[in-house]
A and B are shown apart, each in its own frame.
Chain A
Amino acid sequence: MSMAISVQDIGKQYWRAPRAAHQNSLRDALSEGVRGLLTRRSEARPSQESFWALKEVSFGIRHGENVGIIGLNGAGKSTLLKLLSRIAAPTTGRIRLEGRVGALLEVGTGFHRELTGRENIFLYGSILGMDRREIAAKFDAIVAFSEIGDFIDMPVKRYSSGMYVRLAFSVAAHLEPDILLLDEVLAVGDYTFQRKCMDFARRLQGKGSTILLVSHNMFSIKTMCERVIYIKGGRVAYDGPTDAGLTHYERDSYLADAAWFRPDSGDLPVKISDVTITDESGAPRTLFRHGERMRIRARYSAAEPVADPHVLFSITRSDELLCCNFSTQADGAGLAALSGEGEVELLTPPLTLTADTYTVSMVVRQRGFERLLAAKIGGRFHIEHPVFAPDVFGVFHEAGSWSLRHQDGSRATADLVSA
């Protein structure tokens, strides 16, 4: 049996410095256009420097499979989606798609601000490839799903950004494609709407649709995809089960973070230059097992001495849920004054977070009047837990003491130990 998506050895070459082209005169433009017509494109501009956004990429995706595409920024994920959705043409290789393709690279592109919600449903639906009868048949369902209600006959320029995105997504959600290409679109709207979107994706899964999801949100990748393709430098670096793929990716992304790690606190008086995550012994690490302790170290330089600092480390899950704070104020830890350069270190208690990716961010405030002195986002780590998946088991897991009392008075106790 054939594949839903077969990608054979595709590559995409881009030319650098396209801007310079705009400085050319119309005379050059015309001769260029004629030359472009008569010669192969690769021969037309031999002098310009080129680079390959994707090279020798091959994979096959079976009907009904859900695959996540992961990779750092600029690795070629979006280029791959553009090629699969036919927006851009590959330079080499072949792609074969079986079934109706729905590509949602950005929700709401094609909406016209002057038109009403009703008109935009027909406009956007047609742009996505539905015919008029199909849109008309699904119209009521689209409006109901979007929760737009009576605003449907109002120009969308009066909509809030949330309403706009909800309406656009509702149209897209009713496309019912055989192959769905998704780019980060699940991360729109409020929590309830995100839930709806996930339900929609699951419904498509249930129908046997093939879904290709590009996302930075490892949480949605993990809940939706059993397989990931990790693109690195325009090539396939890993193709296989999700968990192992994410581990690969996390290792690389921590290294990448280190490169752009720079103070993002602007002109605040305290600069934080580096936040490192290490294990208890002080060795740098990004992968932790459930129940391990972690050291977070931050180097700072203070332009002025801060007498009574309030230092806060926050841990945020990959879906932006703030899980916990470690605060000098809450812990009653009076740190000495910050002055000159130095290092703040926190040794966490055993981490009871469930398996996911987390980000550490740091805030320093003046105690008392809480003036913001420094802020820094950075440092990602990954928790592994042998049993508990985050979407089922919540934010943390700790062992409790269990007991069972029977009516007859006898007592059976089971003290569980941590897994």
Chain B
Amino acid sequence: MMKSLDALALGSSECGPAEQRTDPSTLRVTEIAPDDRIIAFDAAGLWQYRGLLRVLILRDLKVLYRQTALGACWAIAQPLFTVLIFTVIFGHFAKIPTDGAPYALFAGSAVVLWTYFSEAVRRSANGLVAEAELIRKIYFPRLVIPLATVVSPMVDFAIALAVMLALMLWYGAVPDWHLVLAVPTLIVTAMLALGVSLWLGPINVRFRDVKHTLPFLIQIWMYASPIVYASSIVPAPVRWLYALNPMVGLIEAFRFAILGGTPPDCFAVAVSVTAALALLVSGLIFFQRMERSFADVI
């Protein structure tokens, strides 16, 4: 009873049904094959799904603000209280020097950027696991998930930045033209967050301990960055070592963009940009390499 497969030989000259409406020659062709290339970045495929990226970002925002009673107030309250606590403890009790700026503004400017970075990394690294159901059942470029989760905290960032600027006016400080530097700083920070997530996300798919390690990692990283203190208190001989943390240059640059004052250390900024690019490129390669097996292991 076994029918020979030869009768169905591929690429034979047999024609489809005569009543067929669509002309197959105009159809999109998809080729699927095992892929062991080291670099397999499918930009065209990603572009095709840009609509999904947009919808996922909107979904994250809608869900986030609809489920919470405070809604958008949350985006204001969180950095505001963080700044308040830092100001009381590190500004008033510990009296940490701030190179002249009021402590609330000094810490606030860093908290705004740091909150964005840590949220982006946290959501993005957990994003793949959170969308496990989707990954198991539907095809789309998996890169859409970390991209969406890096972009969506930017709305919180914008709200927090507005609060920060209001706080400055309250203290009688007005930002100058340096403020435009906030934009490239944010972009490099987003690239860095994405680079980190492209590494952590796929690892998290296979080894869920990333999820538990991440809050700890983020906390250590925060204290290793000049947020509650100025990098000038780091002893000069080891400052280059300190600046190897890519967030050092970014936070200094962001603080400079908002408050003015001392320009950021060139070496630190160079490290930030280099690290962001290196992590992003290597992360993309790693992610593309791992994504084909997500559905098998998630």
Contact = CB atoms under 8 A, between A and B. Distances in A.
B203 A33 contact: yes
A123 B134 CA distance: 12
B62 to A, nearest CB: 6
B36 to A, nearest CB: 6
Contact of B139 (A4, A60, A86): A86
Contacts of A109: 133-134, 136-138
Interface in A1-30: 1-4, 6, 8, 14, 18, 21-22, 24-26, 28-30
A248 interface: yes
A316 to B, nearest CB: 28
Contact of B62 (A87, A105, A119): A119
Interface stretch (A128-136, A263-271, A333-341): A128-136
A343 B293 CA distance: 52
A208 B134 contact: no
A105 B138 CA distance: 8
Contacts of A84: 32
Contacts of A99: 22, 24, 27-28
B30 interface: yes
A244 interface: yes
A96 interface: yes
Contacts of B290: 33, 36-37
Contact of B21 (A8, A110, A123, A207): A207
Contacts of A207: 21-22
Given A6-B11, A26-B207, A105-B137, A96 B30 contact: yes
Interface in B21-59: 21-22, 24, 27-36, 49, 51-52, 54-56, 59
A95 interface: yes
Contacts, number: 202
Interface stretch (A234-242, A289-297, A410-418): A234-242
Contacts of A82: 295
Nearest to A94: B33
A276 to B, nearest CB: 25
Interface in A264-309: none
Given A109-B133, A114-B66, A132-B51, A95 B59 contact: no
B1 A88 contact: no
Contacts of B20: 63-64, 208
Interface in B136-151: 136-140
Nearest to B199: A33
Nearest to B27: A99
B24 A18 contact: no
Contact of A103 (B21, B35, B139, B199): B139
A122 interface: yes
Contacts of A244: 1
A101 B31 CA distance: 12
A92 interface: yes
B140 A88 contact: no
Contacts of A92: 34
Nearest to B202: A33
Nearest to B212: A26
B16 A95 contact: no
A178 interface: yes
Nearest to A119: B62
B138 A239 contact: no
A32 B27 contact: no
Nearest to A105: B137
A59 B8 contact: yes
B262 interface: no
B24 A22 contact: no
Given A87-B295, A178-B22, A33 B33 contact: no
A208 B17 CA distance: 8
Contacts of B28: 98-100
B69 interface: no
Contact of A29 (B14, B35, B206): B206
Contacts of A25: 209
B10 A1 contact: no
B63 A1 contact: no
Interface residues of B, number: 66
A112 interface: yes
Contacts of A36: 289-290
A98 B134 contact: no
Given A63-B20, A83-B32, A87-B138, A248 B1 contact: yes
B8 A60 contact: yes
B29 A98 contact: yes
A126 B51 contact: yes
A98 B66 CA distance: 41
Interface in A224-269: 236-240, 244, 248
Given A87-B138, A99-B22, A22 B207 contact: yes
A127 B3 contact: no
A168 to B, nearest CB: 12
Contact of B22 (A21, A40, A103, A208): A208
A106 interface: yes
Contacts of A63: 16-17, 20, 22, 24
A238 B3 contact: yes
A30 B289 CA distance: 15
A249 to B, nearest CB: 11
Contact of B14 (A26, A62, A97): A62
A1 B16 contact: yes
B67 interface: yes
Nearest to B48: A129
B10 A129 contact: no
Given A3-B10, A109-B134, A239-B5, A126 B52 contact: yes
A55 to B, nearest CB: 14
Interface string A31-70: 0110011001100000000000000001110111100000
A93 to B, nearest CB: 7
Nearest to A97: B30
Interface string A72-96: 0000000000111111111111111
Contact of A115 (B21, B62, B140, B206): B62
Given A36-B290, A126-B51, A239-B5, A112 B27 contact: no
Contacts of A62: 14-17
A230 to B, nearest CB: 10
B210 to A, nearest CB: 7
A83 B31 CA distance: 11
A330 B31 CA distance: 61
6 contacts: A37-B289, A88-B293, A89-B293, A114-B63, A122-B55, A238-B2
